[in-house]
A and B are shown apart, each in its own frame.
Chain A
């Protein structure tokens, strides 16, 4: 029987290399990282990952449909700083300022979506342009930082409900909503179809324009939401740094989580795992007094190694698959397909 067990374990490792790497890393930090495996620290990791999680899930949806949204970092900055302006300069209520912040994000997503989905511009170029334009617009609001949004707003970023931080609840809600959307709505299946083959989806009668438009709006709104949560958590809206480079962190998490650049593949669970992987790696390394420079290097290495792992495991499982098929030819898809029962 040991042979069979080994086969099962191997299957699992091949199926989910990131899960395995995640567990190994978690175990390593739990044993060697002083104070890593404590409720406070883990809660801190979750809190710091919440904004990234929201943005990563949203651009993950865009990428499953075969597109890309690079503008999220600047959208986050723009929405956050705009909300900060409304609260501190116009003395709006935090709730209305937040709603406007999210709406501004959705609006920029709408513009991206119309350009990409309906006018068929390159998503890479359009959203790269939006990244620069919105950073400029953020500086136009203020080159400085707005502070001190009052206690009512701070709850949004650092308050607790059932001893879990509010942003974590929000991120969880986003994850659940995205999962329900992908798995349990017709639109979710259409997202995968568009990502696998836009042409085949078009010939099946799917609206191949509306799906990506909707996803770009969602992605913009999610980035706006992440901006609001972040300024509430740090009680400041720095136009020079809010959301800067965030699109790359989100992209890293999404790719780690098994979404492919080619589209048509990926799950919310995978993206969540990618986000937590990055969050824990950063936290664990910081606890072990690894310098910031080396943390950055580790982040990059993680992505490359994960890709290599996936490619390697696909290759290995293909080889093992071939051997298995040779032993039991009845289960080969082609053989069964040719002799339908």
Chain B
């Protein structure tokens, strides 16, 4: 047994991220690590890579016993981690990326020829892929190839023994993922220990030898061999104990507020969907299932390829978010810090930003009206008014999200359709259920249509009246409230893959900063 973890515990700010986790990876084994968001997977990985020091427990790597690791020790012990977002620099070549920071030098000069030869040899022997050009620019490579270069980079470091991959296929299509699996099998046969983190259940059965499921920082399924497992057992371990949701009023048949007919665009479609007044619909799907792209297209941030968007029965064609907002459509984006929050501005600015122009008289601000709007948004979201002049970035994630949701709930422009992408990402548990209540109540009372996307099955079950499961850009199933359970969602979203539309074209972006 080469890599083993015993009783690993870590507490962050009073809440335990890991409590007494045992975990083992054998030589020549691919060990899948699963669990819902916040289960402690990343903390476990960060303990192994030295980014986080555990509070208790031991890590054994090839007979060396550690109670904690520094990043340097981790590298020396042979731990290599490949994170979800690649760390490669697009403007450099494959060779330059592989040796970045560890350039082979003689008298201070980079030995380009030697590097190139070694990179080519590495790509060939380790990955068996002669088709990757060591002089090619990384930016021009497909995403799957970039992941392979990332693997090569990790393996170029001396004596790698443990390779950790954090959702390497999240942004890849099915066939691209198979390229990665192929190479992983090859590496496994060379005796590497591999930890493979994923949200896709079918990948587990394809590539992994054993499975461990973490839940709430504890082991929910300990190193079971895949041969003795079926999908239901894994799903049950991920979903954990049943949370009983109070029965809620059926929305019933209400008039449709948002209607999509045959809408397709980058990475999704065609999609037909109706959201009624006062109804909350959840789009459930893994990262890369096209759900974010769908929301951004409705919001006018991306151009649709075909199909129609109707709000209250009349067709709209927003060319940019401002146009969608004018039609009464709002979006709370997933990337709060980049796309929603204005970190340097205070809480009132963050709430009032979309309302300033509407509230103003001939362009001049009406401060009293602004105060009323802010007060009502703060009351609606129970945002503590004492923090009104605190800067956005100084607030906790949950409080920030209240500002972003509040900015639309009580916007000076009437919002008929509220869309949210991962509405409670980076939000603490307490604020999370508070936000669900706020959103649901506002939908019911104001007759708003709410459409949210989430990769968190608990969230979908907690918030949605109806769930639509998306996979590879298409709607695969729909669950009414009565059939809306975590098991059903996980099974529908994670089993049976279908090839999705490839490509990752961007938005109609505001463009890079030019100053």
- B359 at the binding interface (Cβ < 8 Å): yes
Inter-subunit contact B514/A123 (CB<8 Å): yes
How far apart sit A338 and B511, CA to CA, in the bound complex (Å)?
Answer: 35
Inter-subunit contact A337/B365 (CB<8 Å): no
Picked from B359, B396, B513, the residue with its CB within 8 Å of the CB of A66 is B513
How far apart sit A207 and B386, CA to CA, in the bound complex (Å)?
Answer: 31
Picked from A184, A198, A200, the residue with its CB within 8 Å of the CB of B340 is A200
- A116 at the binding interface (Cβ < 8 Å): yes
- B357 at the binding interface (Cβ < 8 Å): yes
Inter-subunit contact A341/B386 (CB<8 Å): yes
Q: 1/0 per position for B356-387, CB-CB distance to A under 8 A?
A: 11011001110000000000000000111011
* Inter-chain contacts of B382 with A (CB < 8 A): 340
Inter-subunit contact B363/A185 (CB<8 Å): yes
CB distance from B111 to the nearest CB of A (A): 36
Nearest B-chain residue to A333, judged by Cβ: B394
- A63 at the binding interface (Cβ < 8 Å): yes
- B473 at the binding interface (Cβ < 8 Å): no
Nearest B-chain residue to A184, judged by Cβ: B365
Interface residues on B, range: 35 or more
* Inter-chain contacts of A187 with B (CB < 8 A): 357, 363
Picked from B299, B345, B357, B511, the residue with its CB within 8 Å of the CB of A186 is B357
* Inter-chain contacts of A66 with B (CB < 8 A): 513, 515
Q: Which of A201, A203, A261 has the most CB of B within 10 A?
A: A203
Known: A116-B514, A200-B340, A261-B515. A193 touches B365 (CB 8 A): no
How far apart sit A206 and B326, CA to CA, in the bound complex (Å)?
Answer: 11
Known: A196-B345, A199-B339, A201-B353. A333 touches B390 (CB 8 A): yes
| Main SS class of interface, B | loop
Inter-subunit contact B342/A184 (CB<8 Å): no
Q: 1/0 per position for A185-205, CB-CB distance to B under 8 A?
A: 111011011001111111111
Inter-subunit contact B515/A63 (CB<8 Å): yes
How far apart sit A336 and B384, CA to CA, in the bound complex (Å)?
Answer: 8
Known: A186-B365, A197-B338, A336-B386. A204 touches B354 (CB 8 A): yes
CB distance from A192 to the nearest CB of B (A): 6
- A68 at the binding interface (Cβ < 8 Å): yes
Nearest A-chain residue to B338, judged by Cβ: A199
- A258 at the binding interface (Cβ < 8 Å): no
Picked from A68, A200, A337, A338, the residue with its CB within 8 Å of the CB of B339 is A200
* Inter-chain contacts of A29 with B (CB < 8 A): none
- A67 at the binding interface (Cβ < 8 Å): yes
Picked from B349, B354, B428, B514, the residue with its CB within 8 Å of the CB of A124 is B514
* Inter-chain contacts of A122 with B (CB < 8 A): 514
How far apart sit A219 and B275, CA to CA, in the bound complex (Å)?
Answer: 47
**CB interface residues, B 460-515, toward A, < 8 Å:** 509-515
Nearest B-chain residue to A208, judged by Cβ: B510
* Inter-chain contacts of B161 with A (CB < 8 A): none
Nearest B-chain residue to A116, judged by Cβ: B514
Picked from B363, B398, B514, the residue with its CB within 8 Å of the CB of A120 is B514
Nearest B-chain residue to A69, judged by Cβ: B515
Q: Which of A67, A186, A196 has the most CB of B within 10 A?
A: A186
CB distance from A131 to the nearest CB of B (A): 15
CB distance from B361 to the nearest CB of A (A): 10
Inter-subunit contact A124/B396 (CB<8 Å): no
Segment with Cβ contacts to A, from B81-89, B282-290, B317-325: B317-325
Q: 1/0 per position for A155-196, CB-CB distance to B under 8 A?
A: 000000000000000000000000000001111011011001
How far apart sit A204 and B413, CA to CA, in the bound complex (Å)?
Answer: 12
Inter-subunit contact B365/A189 (CB<8 Å): yes
CB distance from A179 to the nearest CB of B (A): 13
Q: 1/0 per position for B133-155, CB-CB distance to A under 8 A?
A: 00000000000000000000000
Inter-subunit contact A198/B510 (CB<8 Å): yes
- B193 at the binding interface (Cβ < 8 Å): no
Inter-subunit contact B359/A186 (CB<8 Å): yes
How far apart sit A200 and B335, CA to CA, in the bound complex (Å)?
Answer: 10
Inter-subunit contact B342/A200 (CB<8 Å): yes
Known: A200-B342, A202-B321, A205-B325. A336 touches B364 (CB 8 A): no
Q: 1/0 per position for B95-131, CB-CB distance to A under 8 A?
A: 0000000000000000000000000000000000000
Q: Which of A120, A184, A189 has the most CB of B within 10 A?
A: A189
Inter-subunit contact B395/A189 (CB<8 Å): no
Known: A186-B363, A263-B515, A340-B399. A203 touches B321 (CB 8 A): yes
Nearest A-chain residue to B300, judged by Cβ: A205
* Inter-chain contacts of B407 with A (CB < 8 A): 204
Inter-subunit contact A185/B360 (CB<8 Å): yes
* Inter-chain contacts of B331 with A (CB < 8 A): 203
How far apart sit A263 and B345, CA to CA, in the bound complex (Å)?
Answer: 12
CB distance from A296 to the nearest CB of B (A): 26
Inter-subunit contact A192/B364 (CB<8 Å): no
Inter-subunit contact A203/B515 (CB<8 Å): no
Nearest A-chain residue to B512, judged by Cβ: A120
Inter-subunit contact A337/B387 (CB<8 Å): yes
Inter-subunit contact A205/B322 (CB<8 Å): yes
How far apart sit A186 and B387, CA to CA, in the bound complex (Å)?
Answer: 22
Known: A189-B365, A202-B321. A120 touches B511 (CB 8 A): yes
CB distance from A183 to the nearest CB of B (A): 8
- A265 at the binding interface (Cβ < 8 Å): yes
CB distance from B454 to the nearest CB of A (A): 19
How far apart sit A265 and B291, CA to CA, in the bound complex (Å)?
Answer: 35
* Inter-chain contacts of A261 with B (CB < 8 A): 515
Inter-subunit contact A193/B364 (CB<8 Å): no
Inter-subunit contact B340/A196 (CB<8 Å): no
- A9 at the binding interface (Cβ < 8 Å): no
Inter-subunit contact B510/A193 (CB<8 Å): no
* Inter-chain contacts of B512 with A (CB < 8 A): 120
Known: A197-B342, A205-B354, A340-B383. A186 touches B360 (CB 8 A): yes
**CB interface residues, A 305-337, toward B, < 8 Å:** 333-334, 336-337
- B333 at the binding interface (Cβ < 8 Å): yes
How far apart sit A186 and B367, CA to CA, in the bound complex (Å)?
Answer: 11
* Inter-chain contacts of A198 with B (CB < 8 A): 510-511, 513
Picked from B322, B352, B513, the residue with its CB within 8 Å of the CB of A189 is B352
* Inter-chain contacts of B364 with A (CB < 8 A): 184-186
* Inter-chain contacts of A336 with B (CB < 8 A): 384, 386-387
**CB interface residues, B 326-346, toward A, < 8 Å:** 326, 331, 333, 338-345
Nearest B-chain residue to A195, judged by Cβ: B344
Inter-subunit contact B353/A206 (CB<8 Å): yes
CB distance from A24 to the nearest CB of B (A): 29
Inter-subunit contact B322/A206 (CB<8 Å): yes
10 smallest CB-CB distances across A and B, nearest first, come from A337-B396, A186-B356, A205-B325, A337-B399, A186-B360, A202-B510, A205-B322, A333-B394, A120-B511, A186-B357
Task: Kindly list 18 other residue pairs between chains A and B, CB separation below 8 angstroms, not including A192-B344, A193-B349, A198-B510.
Answer: A66-B515, A67-B515, A121-B514, A123-B515, A184-B364, A186-B364, A196-B343, A197-B343, A198-B513, A199-B338, A200-B339, A200-B342, A203-B333, A204-B321, A205-B324, A207-B322, A336-B387, A340-B383
Question: 14 interchain pairs (CB within 8 A)?
Answer: A185-B364, A185-B365, A186-B360, A189-B353, A193-B349, A196-B343, A198-B510, A200-B341, A201-B342, A203-B321, A204-B354, A204-B407, A333-B390, A340-B383
- Chain B positions within 8 Å of A, measured between CB atoms, are 299, 301, 320-322, 324-326, 331, 333, 338-345, 349, 352-354, 356-357, 359-360, 363-365, 382-384, 386-387, 390, 394-396, 398-399, 407, 428, 430-431, 509-515
- Chain A positions within 8 Å of B, measured between CB atoms, are 63, 66-68, 116, 120-124, 184-187, 189-190, 192-193, 196-208, 261, 263-265, 333-334, 336-338, 340-341
